Amino acid sequence: MENLKYSIIYGVIRPEISEQLSIGIVYVDNGNVSVRYSKKKLDVLQGLFSEQEYKFLRKTLKSLGRNAAIQSADAINYLTRYSNNLIALSQLQTIDIAPSESSKDWLYRNYVYSR
Q: Is 45 exposed, middle or buried (0-12, 13-18, 19+ CB in 10 A)?
A: buried
pLDDT at 1: 62
Do the Cβ atoms of 26 and 101 come closer than 8 Å? no
Please state the pTM of the whole predicted model: 0.85
pLDDT in tens, 66-105: 655 576 777 777 777 766 678 888 888 989 988 899 999 9
pLDDT at 84: 65
pLDDT in tens, 96-105: 988 899 999 9
pLDDT in tens, 28-57: 887 788 889 999 999 999 999 999 999 988
Binned at pLDDT 50, 70 and 90, residue 59 comes out as confident
Do the Cβ atoms of 20 and 12 come closer than 8 Å? yes
